[in-house]
Amino acid sequence: MQDTIATESLLKTILHQPDRWALFLDIDGTLLNLAATPDAIEVPAGLPEQLNRLSRKLGGALALVTGRSLAYADTLFQPFSFPTAGLHGAELRDGNGLQPAEATPAFQALKHALTIEAENYPGVLIEDKGAAVAAHYRLAPDYEKLLEKRMMFYAEQAGPGWALQLGKMVFELRPARSSKGDALERFLQSAPFRGRAPVALGDDLTDESMFAVANARGGVSVRIGTVDAPTCAQARLSSPALVRNVITSMAN
């Protein structure tokens, strides 16, 4: 795996052939620092504009690929609306328009039951994402094993349309029909991404599927942060701050 310094240099060379590459960016833990709660993340001043400038240099071939909802991602980087895959790829907005994801009435009832139950677990935070729901235990790590069992129960209740997704201090029920890797494949079928090699940046287990696609497509995969688990990423950057520094350098 390439180290941070080599990865910085590699990413900056993308602009030597901007028509060859497409850039795919996770948000939490990659573009933005992780926070104690989902709503506590901060978007540094100037980052949306830097992303927009870089997108223009790449001919629009820059997309966000996130576990957040697409609508929430838009609020983070307003006034810009980048091509985005939300809910780990279940939602997607590209040149062909918007492919939404909707919660069934049964899943709405399940989210309500989970929210009520979580009141018994101080520090566990339930994030309602519409067609997905996440149980965060960063503030209550002692509940990890119990929460995993309970989320497995809710996954069984939800049925085959939803899958249990593990992440950093979070268990999430998301639509089962898609992944971040699937999202990359769909982006690469439409302009301006078609015919380009993907460069994928992410920090978590949920990003491994898009790393695999980037590798298979002759692109570049970059794991952000400390690599403390097996990964198929080819390279690493040590922190979101360094990712933002590289983006600023490329944008300017």
Cα 193 from Cα 217, distance rounded (Å): 12
- Cα–Cα distance for residue pair 6/237, rounded to 1 Å: 9
Q: What distance in Å separates the CA atoms of residue 129 and residue 172, rounded to the nearest whole number?
A: 10
Q: What is the DSSP letter of 172?
A: E
Strands, DSSP E only, in 111-196?
Answer: 125-128, 133-136, 162-167, 170-175
Q: Which residues carry out catalysis?
A: 26
Dihedral pair phi/psi, residue 79, rounded to 5°: -85, 10
Contact predicate 236/224, CB 8 Å: yes
How far, in Å, CA of 130 to CA of 149, rounded?
Answer: 22
**Across the chain, where does the E strand assignment appear?**
21-25, 62-65, 84-86, 91-94, 97-99, 125-128, 133-136, 162-167, 170-175, 197-202, 220-224, 235-237
For residue 140, which of 116, 101, 163, 169 has the smallest C-alpha distance? 169
Does an H or E element contain 186, and which? helix 180-187
